[in-house]
Structure 1
Amino acid sequence: MTPRRIVLLGSTGSIGRSTLDVVRRHPGRFEVIALAANSNVELLVEQYQQFRPEYVCLVDSNRSRLLAERLKDKPVKVLSGDAEMVQLAALDDADLVVNAVVGAAGLRASLAAVKSGKHLALANKESLVTGGPLFGPLLKKNEGRILPIDSEHSAIWQALACGKVDEVRSIILTASGGPFRDYPLDRFAEITPRQALAHPTWKMGPKITIDSATMVNKGLEIIEVTTLFSLPTEKVKVVIHPQSIIHSMVEFIDSSIIAQLSNPDMRLPITYALFWPERVESDYGRLDFDTLASLTFEKPDFNRFPALKLAYSVAKTGGTAPAVFNAANEVAVDAFLKGSVRFTGITDIIEDAVAKIAVVSNPKLDDILQADSEARKIAGERIGQSTCC
């Protein structure tokens, strides 16, 4: 069997490391031909030594000089900067591109992969959130395909094998509720980054962990669902499921509900995407129904998580509104992690940007990038006026 040739963008992050763990567990099935990361020279060198790709890339141009020095005697092409990372996404030799870049920085790479007809295993939900209007025409025109890595969207993708999209009554996105599902609401302003980074069920990178705590992550997933599966916002529901065992559900028009269950381990949806359409045996841990105490559900509290309510509105508006929502959130989360704004200020900053920036209903790439830039500027100004902390 010929190994599947993989380009991995975001290799040193949480999803990137998990992807390489999957590759490592299946010798002979994959060949890593390119690795790209943001700035982590040490880990990228270590990954190169194990997987021997033809290309490595650091987006941070200053750090890439150190990478080139470390690998100067190795048979590898060292690239640098965002533009060269995007080129890797369109490599002729690649069978599959895994985009595990964090944030809107992954958009151009996702577009390049789809334009070149690649299968795109997508963990970078921000690509579809910000650039959603651009992907539909590209996927119809080219032979590219998006294979979702997000656990929720992988669950929906698998459940949809039981029916057609036009037979869907609703999509039910599950959410753990994060660490503050039962936290006193009057103490939300006191929440620290350390508290917010302590997710009860998932092990993730810092940005997505904060997004889960605010439920912005679930808001981004609502927007992603509408793009990925061509469904109206009205058909997407969210339910709190603290155990994180059911990853999402699809309700069909005959009132049947198909759910995908597994232990909360990102290597499962990664494996499904890498091997699709094949299923392979894994040793990530099976569900034990003899010891599984209960599965519980509850409605989300919009007063506790106002970003979720805002996300529904943004999803319905469409156009460049999701790009504004996402960009303002990225700036706000970074500020919160640095101690510059309160936890409750994250949603305030997003709301401010969404309210101030006019929506382009049928955007081109330049419109989306402009909206992203404006949102970051407005969010930065709002943070500069903050009296925290």
Structure 2
Amino acid sequence: MAVIAVTKERRAGETRVAVTPETVKKLIGAGFSIVVEAGAGAGASIPDSDYEAAGATLAKTAADAAGRADVLFKVRGPEADEIKALKSGAYVVALLNPHNDKATLEALAKQGASAFAMEFVPRITRAQVMDALSSQANLAGYRAVIEASEAYGRALPMMMTPAGTIAPAKVFIMGVGVAGLQAIATARRLGAVVTATDVRPATKEQVESLGAKFIAVEDEEFQNAQTAGGYAKEMSAEYQAKQAELITGHIAKQDVVITTALIPGRPAPRLVTAAQVASMKPGSVLVDLAVEQGGNVEGAKLGETVVTANGAKIMGHANLPGRIAADSSALYARNLVAFADLFRTKEGAFAPDLEDEILKASLVTHGGAVVHPSLKA
């Protein structure tokens, strides 16, 4: 029986875990044996006793758990001691940050591990249930609004009282992917007046269906600004200048701006300049969801809230999904259950088919080398 092992997350600030008691039961039902390092679920409020009750075996150390693994499940990439404990030929599945954390990939390759990056799961119908980027971005978009609301220090909805009326907050969402759409929906539920922008034309209808107003320069480049995979293309300098002119006046009127724009494998595009931040009112808030890839907002700092000279706050929280670790872990763990099913034949035998289109697309190390085409020098 193939063993799936799960260890504590050791990256700074990571509170999520790669399996939950619910998914332990599902994986055991699928024919796997589950080993969980003691304390792995603490950050997500899951006690060891719940894992044991679900049928998992507890390991005292990461090396003990990883050493038993045919498959190692992680949220972030494993650390050096975990990698060294792996058997040659073991499989590793995680959010490996493959474009930026090449040292981990090289260590996994050297150890003889076959590693799969959940970031590279293709956007096809069959793989939707495995789309960890979407499951985590959804929660990040929600949490961004909650963080902004707390930092804003005023009410978001309109309130009519005998003492007078409180005007609703104005919230502007920049980048309408999964995180942006959830941010729109959450801000609307909280009663804010919401506007949004994105370079992909398909998002206009989505924005308007959620009750927000869409703002963009809708020229020919805009009409062709989406890849076949559903990602935003990097826009020309000319388009960016026109878009900046359009939204500069808009940003100055906003109470909250949330930026979510990311391009896989590249630094985050700059959406908000220091001058635009300076035009905002004292007490206004900007939340930069792309801060871990360089940031959309000029002046954003990873892990910090920067208060500007005009009294605006730029929030650069790392790992927003980790701030609601129980739900983030639950969704990510379900992504991994679906992914693990690809390791089994129709008869239930453990025999990963590396020619399967999903496994092939997400495989980053194999046979002692980094093998993904986008990562080769």
**What TM-score do the two structures reach when normalised by structure 1?**
0.35
Q: Which has the larger radius of gyration?
A: 2
Q: Which has the higher helix share?
A: 1
Higher relative contact order (CA 8 A, sep 6+): 2
**What TM-score do the two structures reach when normalised by structure 2?**
0.36
